Homo-oligomer: A and B are copies of this chain.
Amino acid sequence: MEAGVGGHAPRCRRRGLPSQANQNRKLSAVMADAVLFEFLHMEMVAELWARGPDPGPGGQKTSLSVLESVGFRVGQALGERLPRETLAFREELDALKFLCKDLWVALFQKQIDGLRTNHQGTYVLQDNSFPLLTRMASGLQYLEEAPKFLAFTCGLLRGALITLGLKSLVTASVAALPTCKFQVVIQKS
């Protein structure tokens, strides 16, 4: 493959970057990982929507289910990287708090805004400015577009909870963009 690519070989130096590159180093902040995750998520949603076998409600349901299952596997993969001692939460509520704080910070560089519970296995996690919704135009007419930007995160929460020993159902709802609520119902077995 290297045929025709010989000649002078300007290797990237790890130290002593030229001034132009030094100036550009601050751009890493612009292209932060969070942005990368958001863009990749957005394009994955767009691609799955474009490839959906059926543009009707049945096809949309399939695409939502695919996004949810991709999220579930990512949540599981993240959860499986946690040290074992983390997995031993004394209380269910501690596991949910962990998602609201640590998981949300890892995903979105901020904690979630509110956690409510009925102390009977139902939890509502509220994000007042959910990052995967903030790039959408706001307005009532866009509300119906919201579910496809929430399905992945529903699955991710469910996947992370499974690795913490909790089987759950996770749904999301939006009343006014970009605020959204994730409802987690723990399944007692």
With A47-B70, A94-B20, A97-B21 already in contact, the answer to whether A31 and B116 are too (CB < 8 A) is: no
CB contact between A70 and one of B7, B43, B78 (< 8 Å): that residue:
B43
Interface residues of A in 11-37 (CB under 8 A from B): 11-12, 14, 17, 20-21, 24-25, 27-28, 30-37
| Most chain B C-beta atoms within 10 Å of own C-beta, residue among A77, A82, A112, A173 | A77
A111 and B24 alpha carbons, distance in the complex (Å):
13
Chain B residues within 8 Å of A39, by CB: 73-74, 77-78
Do B112 and A30 touch (CB < 8 A)? no
Evaluate contact between B114 and A1: CB separation under 8 angstroms. Answer: no
User: What's the nearest-Cβ distance from chain B to residue A96, in Å?
Assistant: 9
Contact-residue bracket for chain A: 35 or more
**With A1-B173, A51-B66, A116-B9 in contact, do A24 and B86 touch (Cβ < 8 Å)?**
yes
With A and B bound together, what is the CA distance between A166 and B133 in angstroms?
32
On chain B, the residues within 8 Å of A46 by CB distance are: 73
Q: Indicate if A188 sits at the interface (CB-CB under 8 A).
A: no
A74 touches B40 (CB 8 A): yes
A143-161 contacts to B (CB < 8 Å): none
Give chain B residues whose Cβ lies under 8 Å from the Cβ of A24: 86, 98, 101-102
A–B complex contacts, Cβ < 8 Å, 11 sampled: A5-B124, A5-B183, A7-B119, A8-B117, A12-B112, A20-B90, A21-B97, A25-B101, A25-B102, A39-B78, A47-B69
